[in-house]
Structure 1
Amino acid sequence: MVTAGPPRPSGAPSARPHPVRPPAGGRGSRAGRPPSAARRAVPYLLIAPTVLALLAVLGYPLVDLVTLSFQDMTRRELFAGTAPPWAGLQQYRAIAADPFFWEVVGRTALFTVACGVVTMTAAMLVALLMRRVSPWVRATMAGVLVAVWAMPVMVAASVFRWLVDADHGVVNWLLGRLPGADFAKHNWFENPWQGFTVIVAVVVWGALPFAAITLQAALTQVPPELEEAARVDGARPSQVFRHITFPVIKPAFVMVTTLTAIWNFGVFNQIWLMRTGQPEKDYYLLGVYSFIESFAVNRYSSGAAIAVVTVLLLLVGAVVYVRQLVRMGEAE
């Protein structure tokens, strides 16, 4: 005889398990499923118009430039409208065997490093200063930096050319007031080292706002409590900056440095304007050299080959910049 067990209290859960309801839609969760082909194609479809526009605007000139570097274009073909003869690697062999070309490459590299070091040092000092001043002073400094950034290169070059003018320059007047200093009628561009000092000042003047504002924004991400704890432990200001502050802003610092190097490597306007459209050979950088070869000496294919080499060297900097962006994205 089977006896019934004790009665189950009212409201007690049943011993029979409840059936598990499937998620809405009846096909299981999508969390672990790979995205469909349509979803994977969405980013490429969104960026496609930009890529097509860049190819239309930049693709044809770049292809035409590379093609021209393998030809021998002269004024005869240019005026007659005939196709120039094919020269193969002749233009590249010619510039590779030219010592002056390598002199220009070395000068361009040195100019890029000098501008980058001065720009990043000044930008870091300005950013640290903006971090310590009161909010209204910081806003004023930011406004001044933006105004400088918005100034056209032609205006900046004209101002600096007036400042160092041999006859009426303010710089010569100020330096001439120093004891024993004679800067009357001093021509700053007679010596290429002095001339490039002025040109570096023009380039740094235009690049400083972007670098300073970017670094100041990066400094806002540094936790103040970490710096305060380091100071309490007896760390000097230089140690706090080296071990606490700089590691936080390092990704932004590297990114700005790379962009500045790319821009400085292709400098043309500042030199052309400061030398009033007639730069001496001592002031040739790769951009100026390519322009002179193409439109002053009328060696169009040689100028195109120099421009292609310049583009390839700039691509190295662009690759470094993209890698930094990728690393920053992975770190986040």
Structure 2
Amino acid sequence: MSSPAATSVAAGEPVAAAETPRRPRKRRGPGAVTRPGLTPLLLLSPAGLVITALTIVPIGYLIYLSFTNAGQKMLFTGTYDIVGLRQYRDILHDREFWRSFVRTILFTAAMVAGSVVVGMGVAQLLGKIGTGFRYAVTVVLIFAWAMPNVASSMVWGWLFQPGYGVANWLLTQTHLFGDVTATNWANSPRLAYACIWMLIVWQAVPFIALTLNAAQTQVDPAYYEAARLDGASEWRVYWTITLHFLRPTLLLITILSVIWDFNVFNQIWLISNGGPNGATSTLGIYAYRNAFVSFHFGVGAAISVVTTLLLLVLTAFYIRSLIKAGEDL
């Protein structure tokens, strides 16, 4: 008995070539992982090049410079020697370094506490005033926050100048402290700290107030109505409900404020130059004086590296808080 293929050949019909079996295509489900390709890398490469050129390379050179004795000789001859960890050993045995470190910690704590407390008060005020006044205050806060800190520091210094400073004249008119028109705030450690503290708090309050006010508007008004129906006072409502919902935002703002205030330099340098007698010299001022006043670039680089390591610890807390806040959503 002949096969069908033989029958078709005998009949003169063309025989189709043997078809190779095809593998069925795998359908990608919604959770399938696909290769991203080179497109994301090409899109991110401009930002990556900028970050590398402006951040990674300078930090790498700073770390390298901290292991050298680069100083004024390098400016003229371009030569320096590798000294290893000697710069770090010298600054860790320097009393002025530890004094500057303690000043930085205490001053940062004072600035952060003042900024957060005043910012919370302004945020609460924004929720109590009318719409027109709220818009006006918001615009003023944005303008104050957008002003460059160098320009605002110079204007602030003029306000407290002896002889013609507006702040000294206003304080004299109150008759609370006598005649203070000739008072030089930069010549007194306490007055210099107070002047710098007020400046930094004034610059930090807009961001904190607007951020907290935005977070406060997301709280369901039903919580406030239920608390007031139960007879809770306004302070109790704020402490129990508002602060409870603002806790994640407050934590992130506090950590950010610590990082920013730890790095404060322009305001201190333009107001008091780290004086009088180094009384307002923080780690930033201490590093600047060593690097660009005494021309000990290696020492200044080592101080900057130590400061960066301290900030990395704070940044780790910040990132951990961001991740935790994202998980709580």
**TM-score bracket for the superposition, by shorter chain length:** 0.7 to 0.9
Q: Cα distance 1:201–1:179, how it changes in 2: closer, same or farther (>3 A)? A: closer
* 1:146 partner letter: I
- Say if 2:146 is the partner of 1:150: yes
- Say if 2:119 is the partner of 1:123: yes
State the match for 1:35 in structure 2.
Answer: 33
Shift of 1:106: 0.6
Q: Cα distance 1:209–1:78, how it changes in 2: closer, same or farther (>3 A)? A: same
Q: Cα distance 1:218–1:303, how it changes in 2: closer, same or farther (>3 A)? A: same
Q: Cα distance 1:261–1:277, how it changes in 2: closer, same or farther (>3 A)? A: closer
Specify the SS of the correspondent of 1:283. Answer: coil
Task: Tell me how far apart the structure 1 counterparts of residues 83 and 28 of structure 2 sit (CA, whole Å).
Answer: 63
- Say if 2:70 is the partner of 1:70: no
- Say if 2:209 is the partner of 1:212: yes
- Say if 2:310 is the partner of 1:317: no
State the match for 2:156 in structure 1.
Answer: 160
Task: Tell me how far apart the structure 1 counterparts of residues 319 and 158 of structure 2 sit (CA, whole Å).
Answer: 39
Query: Structure 1: 5+ residue runs without aligned partners?
Result: 1-24
Task: Tell me how far apart the structure 2 counterparts of residues 26 and 77 of structure 1 sit (CA, whole Å).
Answer: 66
Aligned mate of 2:222, from 217, 225, 230:
225
Conservation of the 8 A alpha-carbon contact between 1:272 and 1:279: no
Aligned mate of 1:188, from 173, 185, 189:
185
* 1:205 partner letter: W
* 2:222 partner letter: E
State the match for 1:282 in structure 2.
Answer: 279
Aligned mate of 2:170, from 167, 174, 180:
174
Shift of 1:85: 0.9
Query: Structure 2: 5+ residue runs without aligned partners?
Result: 1-23
Shift of 1:80: 0.9
- Say if 2:95 is the partner of 1:99: yes
State the match for 2:198 in structure 1.
Answer: 201
Aligned mate of 1:89, from 85, 102, 109:
85
Aligned mate of 1:265, from 262, 266, 269:
262
Shift of 1:178: 4.1
TM superposition outliers: structure 1 runs of 4+ over 4 Å: 25-29, 41-49, 276-280
Shift of 1:311: 0.8
Task: Tell me how far apart the structure 2 counterparts of residues 302 and 122 of structure 1 sit (CA, whole Å).
Answer: 38
Q: Deviations over 1:221-249 (max 9, x none)?
A: 11111011011111122221122111212
Q: Cα distance 1:252–1:46, how it changes in 2: closer, same or farther (>3 A)? A: farther
State the match for 2:12 in structure 1.
Answer: none
Q: Cα distance 1:108–1:180, how it changes in 2: closer, same or farther (>3 A)? A: closer
| 1:247-262 correspondence to structure 2 within 5 Å | 247-262=244-259
Give the number of aligned pairs: 305
